[in-house]
Amino acid sequence: DTEVTQTPKHLVMGMTNKKSLKCEQHMGHRAMYWYKQKAKKPPELMFVYSYEKLSINESVPSRFSPECPNSSLLNLHLHALQPEDSALYLCASSQGQEYQPQHFGDGTRLSIL
Amino acid sequence: GQNIDQPTEMTATEGAIVQINCTYQTSGFNGLFWYQQHAGEAPTFLSYNVLDGLEEKGRFSSFLSRSKGYSYLLLKELQMKDSASYLCAVKDSNYQLIWGAGTKLIIKP
């Protein structure tokens, strides 16, 4: 069982839809991450929040918009996505950004029609 | 550039021991991490090393030599459920994880 909870587990949306992915952790971790993972590839970092502030944005297209409402929650707002955005979206958290391991949620499997 | 190398695929027998190697060249080093990932699932944290030496966690151990840019993950008493991909990742000078492509481990009865 993971202590990082992601919802929904699966999402199918059209290219004109707006949807949000949610992530929650109650481990008191101060760093939270969004990753995108394609089949048989390692995770690709999208965004990092440290102490609720966006610290890293890996040149992600603006159709992906992150939000960190508080230290336990992380959202990823999706709008006008493309079929190539279909992937597993993973949220992770760690105690801090420096040496501590990241712990992943179960992910959201996203399919764009 | 930054590079992490690990074998693409390995096969081992149930009950045996297997060692998965990882070599790295990164800009800075702030820890090496091993994750297990079953097909279609999220990565699960297994072990990490910041200093040289061996870290043991039950059936899993991880070793690090920073001077050689080398690590291995040792899995003992293999079980069928250990069939998965094993990902090696290094935190660089910016504290970002640089990932290897993963090693697919196949366990045979």
Mean pLDDT of A7-17: 94
Residue B84 has pLDDT above 80, yes or no: yes
Strand B53-57 to B44-49 pairing: unpaired
Mean pLDDT of A41-69: 94
Residue A29 has pLDDT above 70, yes or no: yes
pLDDT, tens digit, 9 for 90 and up, residues A73-91: 999 999 999 999 999 999 9
Mean pLDDT of B17-28: 97
Quick one: pLDDT at residue A57?
A: 85
Quick one: pLDDT at residue A2?
A: 57
Residue A1 has pLDDT above 80, yes or no: no
| Long-range contacts formed by B92-95: CB under 8 A, 24+ apart | B92/B2, B92/B26, B92/B27, B92/B28, B92/B29, B92/B30, B93/B26, B93/B27, B93/B28, B93/B29, B93/B30, B94/B28, B95/A97, B95/A98, B95/B30
The answer, for A97 touching chain B at a CB cutoff of 8 Å, is yes
Cα dihedral: A35, A58, A41, B16 (round 10): -70
Mean pLDDT of B97-108: 97
User: Chain B residues with CB inside 8 Å of A97's CB?
Assistant: 95
CB contact under 8 A, B42 and A106: yes
Give the list of residues 6+ apart from residue B78 with CB closer than 8 angstroms, or none. B12, B13, B14, B15, B16, B17, B18, B107
CB contact under 8 A, A42 and B102: yes
